[in-house]
Amino acid sequence: MVVVLIIIIGLHLDNKIRKDMIIMKTIIIYDNTGYIFSQMAGCYVKPQGGIQYLEAEIPEGKLLQKIDVTVTPNVPIYIDMPLNETDLLKKRIDEQEQALVELASMLGGVV
């Protein structure tokens, strides 16, 4: 609710508020048989033109960012999944252990 209020206030300050910019309804994505695939409530972007689909396997460690519609057939664009806190800590520990091993080898010691 706070985010929506900030958006409304920001748009009001610019005097550019339009009814089609903030939609407080529910959008329902469905096929020609009436099968519902998705529904979103609150603020969303209205689909422009037709709704398309593709089937893809999302690689491990990746997130779907968008669909490249400039090529035919359309292809998914992936980004690396951000590391969670545990994985970040493990990575940091591994880096520090490696630094200690390198330091010990330069000093002639064994870790």
Can you spell out the DSSP letters for 49-92? Answer: S-------PPPTTEEEEEEETTSSS-EEEEEEPPPPHHHHHHHH
pLDDT tens-digit map of 43-90: 777 887 888 888 889 999 899 998 898 999 989 999 999 989 999 999
pTM of this prediction exceeds 0.85? no
CB 73 within 8 A of CB 54: yes
**What total number of domains does the chain contain?**
1
Q: What is the pLDDT of residue 7?
A: 37
**In a domain? residue 97:** no
Q: Which domain holds residue 78?
A: 2-82
**In a domain? residue 32:** yes
* Mean of pLDDT values over 86-101: 94
Q: What is the pLDDT of residue 96?
A: 96
Asked whether the predicted pLDDT for residue 100 surpasses 90, the reply is yes
Which has the higher per-residue pLDDT, 102 or 108? 102
**In a domain? residue 68:** yes
